[in-house]
Amino acid sequence: MAKRNPAQTRQHILEAALGEFAARGFDGARVDTIAEKAGANKRMLYHYFGNKDELYLAILERTYEHIRSHERDLDLEAMSPPEAMGELVRFTFGYFVAHPEFIRILNNENLYEAQHLNRSTRIKDMHSPLVEEVRNTLARGAEQGVFRHGVDPVQLYITIAGLSYFYLSNAATLGAIFDRDLRTREALASRLEHVVDVVLGYLRP
């Protein structure tokens, strides 16, 4: 009989839950389906996560931790301020493109007015280092005379995320309205360079 691997079982449950919640939302996701896809049973799922709400919260925390950990790897401090901000924009846009489940999870949580996210202290703590890194980059840019003074790092990050998020989360409807495919490689590259230009243009003194 194969020995049970708790860490692996937990990981399989999280992976299955991410796919199910991203595809069907919190209300539509079924614990039975998650357990089946994970190769586990409901008793084991409840043993690790307690209930559906706690499993969903674990998915939210895992989702944010994944993007925050990749942001930390950017090492913005090692770049010139314009290079650093351009890199943050490119990373954010590229991450959203590569991880559509992130956008779907966020869309779903916004429908609930962030009621699950508000229960997490971990997610809020994850954002502090990012805000501080952006703040330091803006300060360096202002000191060097390449960025304007007085830019709020939180407002700037929301703008960067919004310029990317809105385009990708609404690509189907916008594409239908303007009669163009906004998800081709060429369209995505064009949008990315536009967002970089918008952000860097705003930051110029």
Output the domain CATH number for residue 28.
1.10.10.60
Structure tokens at 137: 């980059």
Q: Both 11 and 75 in a single domain?
A: no
pLDDT digits (tens, 9 = 90+) for 3-56: 567 788 899 999 999 999 999 999 999 999 999 999 988 888 999 999 999 999
Interatomic CA distance for residues 21 and 27, integer angstroms:
9
pLDDT for res 200: 98
Please state the pTM of the whole predicted model: 0.89
Give residue 38's domain range.
Answer: 1-50
**8-state DSSP, 73:** T
Q: Both 154 and 192 in a single domain?
A: yes
pLDDT for res 126: 83
Q: Both 29 and 68 in a single domain?
A: no
Total structural domains within the chain: 2
Q: Long-range contacts for 41-48 (Cβ within 8 Å, ≥24 apart)?
A: 44/9, 44/13, 45/13, 48/6, 48/9, 48/10, 48/13
Pick from 15, 13, 12: nearest CA to 51: 13
Interatomic CA distance for residues 140 and 188, integer angstroms:
30
Q: Both 70 and 92 in a single domain?
A: yes
Pick from 123, 142, 168, 167: nearest CA to 85: 142
Q: Both 46 and 66 in a single domain?
A: no
Q: Both 67 and 107 in a single domain?
A: yes
Amino acid at 109: E
Q: Both 157 and 67 in a single domain?
A: yes
In a domain, 182, yes or no: yes
Which CATH number covers residue 101?
1.10.357.10
Does residue 150 come out as left (phi exceeding 0), alpha (psi in the -120 to 50 range) or beta? Answer: left
pLDDT digits (tens, 9 = 90+) for 149-162: 999 999 999 999 99
